[in-house]
Amino acid sequence: MSGERFDQTLTTHLMKVVNSTADDWDQHIDEILLGYRVNVQESTKHSPFELLYGVKAKLPIDLEKEDVDVTDDSCTIQDTRVKDLLEAIPQLQDTAKENIAPAQSVQKLRYDLRHAAPTYQVGDSVLKYNRQRETRVGDKLQPRFAGPYEIVEVLGRRVYRLKDGDKELK
């Protein structure tokens, strides 16, 4: 089982481990964080662990497959490894920054589509929000909106003149 597949399985498994009353979720935080930290993130194309330490995480399943050969040259191996990491980490972080830019633009586009201010035109039917309800004590059961009303005139940005049948509202 590959590391990425293992991570997804681990995270999915933990979501199912929480009991039916969902009061033991705090006992699974460490495992869920492990799954998050070793999974490749879509925006950076790297895992948080890899960006921090410069290497892919070795999970217990990976260690079972690997034979460790310890030699007398362990000091030179460590020195070489440190030098490699000092070069690799900035490169990984630079590629992550490059990958984040397009992801952020896509996220901004999606946000702007969902949060664009609505624009209305003359003749549209709208509901009017009851702002008095926010400041009054009680009235919790009063309707939040009144209407529908018809827009008679656009006075400015988000300012409209409304009418209810033949009667024009203030």
H and E: helices and strands count for the chain: 6, 4
- Position 106 scores a pLDDT of 92
Tens-level pLDDT at each residue, the chain (170 residues): 445 554 455 444 445 667 777 788 888 888 888 888 999 998 899 999 998 888 888 887 777 766 655 555 667 888 888 888 888 888 888 999 999 999 999 999 999 888 877 788 899 999 988 877 777 777 677 788 888 999 998 888 788 899 988 888 87
**Spatial CB neighbours of 37, under 8 Å, sequence gap ≥ 6:** 47, 48, 49, 57
Q: Could you give the strand order of the β-sheet that contains 125-129, starting from the edge strand earlier in sequence?
A: 125-129, 145-156, 159-164, 167-168
- Position 17 scores a pLDDT of 66
**Spatial CB neighbours of 42, under 8 Å, sequence gap ≥ 6:** 103
Bridge-partner residues for 125, per DSSP?
150
34, containing H or E segment: helix 29-38
- Position 5 scores a pLDDT of 52
- Position 58 scores a pLDDT of 85
- Position 74 scores a pLDDT of 65
Gap between the Cα atoms of 95 and 100, Å rounded: 9
Domain positions in the chain: 3-68+81-102, 125-168
- Position 14 scores a pLDDT of 44
